[in-house]
Amino acid sequence: MMFGELIRKRRKGMGLTQKELAKKVEIDFTYLSKIETGDLPPPSDDVIAKIAIELEIEADKLFLLAKKVPPSYRREIIKDKSTKEVLRLVTHHPEFRKELEQFVQDWRKKQKSRSS
């Protein structure tokens, strides 16, 4: 699902008009309309955060749909040495990415079996 599609679906599901949501997040409704249709790219980080709150969408999910790094990820990258190293390895070593993907799959399976 695309950024604008999720906004529109959730807004309509909550019974909000474009004008109502736009007013709550302090943007013009015509701007919101163009975001929803994909005629304009996703808005600023501040507006995305406000939309997430108003539409009760997990902010990280909304940022990722907007093809932006969520602020929570940025904070983690800045503060954690291991996270920085993993990102460096993923960026510069394709073989590491494959191993990391396998690790994540195995970890998810393990978590799923623990919860069953």
The pTM of the full predicted model, rounded to 2 decimals, is 0.80
Q: What domain range includes position 85?
A: 80-115
- The answer to whether the CB of 50 falls within 8 A of the CB of 43 is no
What CATH number does residue 25 fall under?
1.10.260.40
95 and 63 housed in the same domain: no
The model's pLDDT over 49-91, given as tens digits with 9 standing for 90+, comes to 999 999 999 999 999 999 999 999 999 999 999 999 999 999 9
Domain count, the chain: 2
User: Considering the domain boundaries, does residue 74 fall inside one?
Assistant: no
Distance CA 67, CA 103 (A): 24
Distance CA 49, CA 115 (A): 31
User: Considering the domain boundaries, does residue 7 fall inside one?
Assistant: yes
- Alpha carbon of residue 16 to chain centroid: 21
The model's pLDDT over 89-113, given as tens digits with 9 standing for 90+, comes to 999 999 999 999 999 999 999 999 9
